[in-house]
Amino acid sequence: MNLKDLPVQLSHIQQARKRLQGVVHNTPIIRSRTFSHMAGVETFLKLENLQRGGSFKIRGAFNKISSLAEDVRKRGVVAASAGNHAQGVALAADKFGVHATVVMPEHAPISKQSAVVGYGAELILKGSSFEDAYAKAREIEKERGATLIETYNDETLIAGHGTMALEIMESLPDLEMAIVPVGGGGLISGIAIALKSMNPHVKVIGVQSEHISSIYQSFQRGEIVESRPEKTIADGIAIKRPGSITFPIIKEVVDEMVTVSDDEIAFSILLLMERKKIIVEGAGATPLAALLAKKITRPGKKVALVLSGGNIDVNLLERIIEKGLMKTGRMLRLKTEIPDTPGALGELAGLLGRMKANILEITHDRISTQVELGATGANVTLETHGEEHNKEILRGLRESGYRLL
């Protein structure tokens, strides 16, 4: 590995840190006793979800805008993003008094749209994908003479993102491994360059969603591969194609790439909320998901997980909580048949209560073809204590004469 041949050097990252002083937070890095026990390695969390704008993106965006000449800034900046980059650019531009135009896909979460407008940027919604928004941003770049702030494929952005690694090493000089979410590769490129420059023995592991894993596939094949887009709760790293700048860096300085499922991500989001009172978005939870799912070979004794952002839509968070509860067996959905007579529903509720199940929701289904005439279906959602409790509940219903549908 020859770090001197890379387009971004440790000196660039150190210069970026000077620019960012007083602008970005030196976010906390905390040890988690719970996750250390679960993973079998000493586990630390880099809480970039507490960064200004809710993610690491302001590091690169501010570094980029600060590097522009004054006359260039006056023409404004434009960016395309599904969320976090949009907020980072809007916030950074506001610091310089620069007009920012942000193009987002039409389905971008309302919360992220509102944040962009709140930071003073002009918001344009275009298309159904990041690629649609990016094409529109390129049009605006040409029409207005604005500077396009790339999402990840830019050396100055990479240097800005790498400043996080300087903070990590100051807190953990004996770090053995860093696990980093990967979308287009800007974040992991900066972090890996900085870490390897300071200690070449530190391993850097990248994590992608298995639903859109362009860099994982490219890493395995040694050449750029484009992924077919699929839905994932890690929307912040759902990038179809690696960058022409980031991928060669990743090939050179990243040790391993792994993928995680949406179920594993949802479970990690739930764990972070329950055990550490930390809210992260899907992308930010992928490092913990990879560690707990044993996706990483030989993780070492001291590991830092980069929780890259916390900008999660409230409605999505509700669904993720439900999904996580279902996965861990703490939510049970069942359908049974009860007599269509007064008091029948109360008897069912009483039985479930005696079995220590908490009813979250219950609905009638009189027209189901699964139930007999004179009966009605009861769709019940329960909060329970786990798989064994679920088995007890189902057994108790059957023993009491209820037919499960």
Give me the residues paired with residue 382 across strands: 332, 359
Amino acid at 356: K
Segments making up each domain of the chain, as ranges: 3-55+154-324, 57-148, 329-404
**Cβ contact 195:167 at 8 Å:** no
The pLDDT tens digits for 246-296 are: 999 999 999 999 999 998 999 999 999 999 999 999 999 999 999 999 999
Inter-residue contact 332 to 381 (CB < 8 Å): yes
CA distance 136 to 125: 9
Compute the distance between CA of residue 124 and CA of residue 91 in angstroms, rounded to an integer.
Answer: 16
Query: How far from chain centre, in Å, is Cα 11?
Result: 29
Answer whether CATH 3.10.270.10 is correct for domain 57-148.
Answer: no
Residue 97 to residues 73, 190, 363: CA-CA distances in angstroms?
9, 27, 54
Residue closest to 233 by CA, chosen among 115, 133, 325, 321: 321
Write the pLDDT tens digit of every residue in 162-216. 999 999 999 999 999 999 999 999 999 999 999 999 999 999 999 999 998 999 9
3-55+154-324 and 329-404, same CATH topology: no
Closest CA to 166 of 195, 189, 200, 192: 195
Distance CA 102, CA 243 (A): 20
CATH assignment, 329-404: 3.30.70.260
Supply φ then ψ for residue 267, to 5 degrees. Answer: -60, -40
376 DSSP β-pair partners: 338
Looking at 3.40.50.1100, 3.30.930.10, 3.40.50.10540, 3.30.420.10, the CATH number of the domain 3-55+154-324 comes to 3.40.50.1100
* Strands 100-104 vs 29-31: parallel, antiparallel or unpaired: unpaired
Q: Is the pTM of this model over 0.85?
A: yes
CA 82/CA 219 separation, integer angstroms:
24
Q: What are phi and psi of 183, to 5 degrees?
A: -115, -90
Contact assessment for residue 160 and residue 63, using Cβ atoms and an 8 Å cutoff: yes
Rounded Cα distance, 191 and 197, in Å: 10
Report CA-CA distances (Å) from 222 to 183, 187, 317: 17, 20, 36
Sequential pLDDT tens for the chain (405 residues): 689 899 999 999 999 999 999 999 999 999 999 999 999 999 999 999 999 999 999 999 999 999 999 999 999 999 999 779 999 999 999 999 999 999 999 988 788 898 899 999 999 999 988 889 999 999 999 999 999 999 999 999 999 999 999 999 999 999 999 999 999 999 999 999 999 999 999 999 999 999 989 999 999 999 999 988 788 888 888 888 899 999 999 999 999 999 999 989 999 999 999 999 999 999 999 999 999 999 998 877 899 999 999 998 888 888 888 877 887 889 999 999 999 899 999 999 999 999 999 999 998 887 777 888 888 999 999 999 999 999 999 999 999 999 998
Find, among 245, 279, 69, the residue nearest to 157 by Cα.
Answer: 245
